[in-house]
Chains A and B, each alone.
Chain A
Amino acid sequence: MAGDAKTSRAAVWPGIIALAIAAGYLIALLAVEKQSLIIALLAVGIIVVIAAAWFGLLDGVSHAFSDHEDALGGFAILALLAVGAFFHEDHFVLLLVTTVLLYSVATLGLNIQFGYAGVLNFAGASFFGIGAYTSAVLNAHTALPHLIVLLIGGLLAALIGSLLLLPVLRTRGHYAAVVTIAFALLFKTFLEVNDVLGGPQGMQVKGMTILGWSFNDNIEIGGISLSFYMNYFMISLLLLIGAFVVVRRLERSWIGLNLDALRLDETAASCFGLDVVRWKITAFLIGNFLIGVAGAMFGMVGSFVAPNNYTFADSLILVSILLLGGIGNPWGLIVATFIVVVVPEKLQTIQEYRFLLYALLVIGVLLFRPEGLLPRPVRRYFPGWQP
């Protein structure tokens, strides 16, 4: 009776259809301006998802994703490119979608830390800010190539994070979480009193240039003009793809297993040879590196950094994305980032109640779907692999 579990792979088309619908829906949501229409669209979206779940349609989608992840990853990229192409002249929408892409990179970093290693980081926005200020300072005062600046932003976030947490990661319990909260609160004050970094007003960030190609110029190709944000959209998409691949490979390796093992039972893990401190630090460093790179990119995209953009409240938003999306599931995190970033931006009426909305959303998810919108499936080291 060996090996008779299931020998056929799931169909891929439910995944493709889901991606096509999602892309179409996103385009509609981003294109519509009238508030009543947006509310109607959101209501329709919620009802469709609930109905699809009710009728079991989502199972086919999740099976498709677990068996054909590489192919569907390709389709997801196409879907995002379609969204970008549709809005190729629209500064506002491209900036919004680029923001989502970079926030997704940051939450993927947090996911390695909290989702896998179980180390809570309540200073995500601060480390993101370290990246952003790195590009502000380095672009202004040095001639370093901007790709190197991204790298430095990531390394700096990792370095500062590890100086902060090395002493506490050795201890059990949630000391690390407390330290990150303290850091998040201090970070903003530090920026505000620091004149070199522009104080409360913040500072300008020079736009990105790669090999003489300036990202802040609009693009003309054969009579079609593209918003300059198209540059940033494309490079942010590349960063997201890179971060996604890193997170995926990490999860589907012995390292991902180590992180799960130490999160679930430190004592048992150390009885089987695991160096708990080493792996916690490794997870924290990789996570912060991703957050810092995303922040450095974000600084150049926004062309401006100020202390108010990197507060404790922003860190909480990042954590809420994690809870909402499904801790440990990178697909869920990207969906959740879209929801959390795009909805308040489109629904001007709720802007002021943004945090209330997040709080309700998180409470609702924790009550009714504690594992998030897209729960993490059991680890498959190679999608579709059969013994």
Chain B
Amino acid sequence: MTALLEARGVVKRFGGVVALDGLDLAVTAGEIIGLIGPNGSGKTTFFNVATGIYAANAGNVMFDGADITRVPARAIYRAGVSRTFQRSRLSLPLSIFDNIMIGNHKRLNQGLWFNLVKRGDFKREFEASYHAARALVEVFEPALAGRMFEPVAGLPMIDRRRIEICRALISEPKLLLLDEPSAGMTHDETAELMNDILLVRERKKDLTIIIVEHEMGVIERITNRCVVLNFGRKIAEGPYRDVAADAQVQEAYLGVA
């Protein structure tokens, strides 16, 4: 099996801090991987390197057979990688629909002539996009589907998280990176959100997901495999049960030997 995403010896330093210290990580198409590790262990940094926000200091990242180590973020998205952010990063003054369409960039016609002059064609694309976005929102929260043109600034955190996931899903990526999607949610809300994500995945079986999550119940339930980071290095890998039993992992998390 060839890996969909593969990191080899990735190093990322911030001044004196080594956030990623020769990280190796491979993800096969169709997997759901849990990326876990204590605070500051480099999980978010890995997402930022993989999506092209930060350039790695050493090592390389392959996606779908191509080297994406020095590729700009926008090209990595075009290749099929989408993400959410640990701290929700929606455009607050814009509507739900607008925010989701930001994630649909590569599938929308961006030509000046099309947008300014061919308004009839534009309207058809707009209506098709509206129905696609609405259908996706309905999976996560039917009550939001009637409010597509309201600014997201007025929504509670839980809805904003849902919209952010819709923004990442609308372009039908091959790889979805979820950075603590349930931060700030209750236990039940988290469970519901995960079910919704799995529901979307039902329709598109080959969607590969890497999820960073602190709630181990979630990790146990939805992931095929876990990768544990500590100080920017992979310290364990395997099914959740095995990893959770690992002495090194327990030490990293609990500080006990």
Contact = CB atoms under 8 A, between A and B. Distances in A.
B130 interface: yes
B231 interface: no
B149 A254 contact: no
A264 B91 contact: yes
A5 interface: yes
B105 interface: yes
Interface residues of B, number: 47
Contacts of B115: 249-250, 253-255
B106 A273 contact: yes
Interface stretch (A55-63, A219-227, A308-316, A377-385): A377-385
Shortest Cβ-Cβ A-B pairs, 6 listed: A253-B115, A273-B105, A264-B91, A273-B77, A270-B73, A273-B74
Contacts of A268: 85, 89, 91, 102
Most chain A beta carbons < 10 A, residue from B52, B73, B106, B123:
B73
B98 A271 contact: no
Contacts of B142: 1-2
A282 interface: yes
Interface in A344-387: 378-382, 387
Contact of B102 (A5, A261, A387): A261
Contacts of A380: 149
B78 interface: yes
A188 B92 CA distance: 40
Interface string A251-288: 00111011011001101111111110000001000000
A212 interface: no
B110 A255 contact: yes
Contact of B93 (A254, A255, A257, A264): A264
Contacts of A254: 101, 105, 108-110, 115
Contact of A282 (B103, B106, B112): B112
B204 interface: no
A267 B130 CA distance: 25
Contacts of A250: 115-116
Interface in A208-262: 246, 249-250, 253-255, 257-258, 260-261
Interface size class of A (residues with CB under 8 A): 20 to 34
B53 interface: yes
Contacts of B51: 271
A254 B167 CA distance: 15
B151 interface: yes
A379 B171 CA distance: 21
B190 interface: no
A271 B119 contact: no
A275 B74 contact: yes
Given A268-B85, A270-B73, A270-B74, A387 B101 contact: no
A379 B95 contact: yes
Contacts of A272: 74, 77, 82, 102-103, 105, 167, 171
Interface of B: 51-53, 72-74, 77-78, 82-83, 85, 89, 91-95, 98, 101-103, 105-106, 108-110, 112, 115-116, 119, 122-123, 126, 130, 134, 138, 142-143, 145-151, 167, 171
Nearest to A271: B73
B145 to A, nearest CB: 6
Contacts of A249: 115-116, 119
A182 to B, nearest CB: 30
Contacts of B108: 254
Contacts of A275: 74
Contacts of A270: 52-53, 72-74
Contacts of B106: 273
Contacts of B116: 246, 249-250, 253, 255
B53 A255 contact: no
A258 B130 CA distance: 17
A378 B110 contact: no
Nearest to A264: B91
Interface in A1-28: 1-5
Nearest to A3: B146
A70 B99 CA distance: 26
B145 A382 contact: no
B130 A387 contact: yes
B53 A267 contact: yes
Contact of A2 (B91, B122, B146): B146
Most chain B beta carbons < 10 A, residue from A257, A267, A272:
A272
A274 B146 contact: no
B151 A378 contact: yes
A276 B143 CA distance: 34
A3 B131 CA distance: 12
Nearest to A328: B93
A39 to B, nearest CB: 38
B128 to A, nearest CB: 12
A260 B94 contact: yes
A319 B239 CA distance: 60
A265 B53 CA distance: 13
Given A270-B72, A378-B94, 17 more contacts: A1-B143, A2-B138, A253-B116, A254-B110, A255-B116, A264-B94, A267-B89, A268-B89, A270-B74, A272-B103, A274-B102, A275-B74, A378-B95, A378-B149, A378-B150, A379-B149, A387-B148
A274 B149 CA distance: 22
B146 A4 contact: yes
B105 A274 contact: yes
A241 B230 CA distance: 61
Given A2-B142, A254-B109, A381 B77 contact: no
Contacts of B112: 255, 282
B126 to A, nearest CB: 5
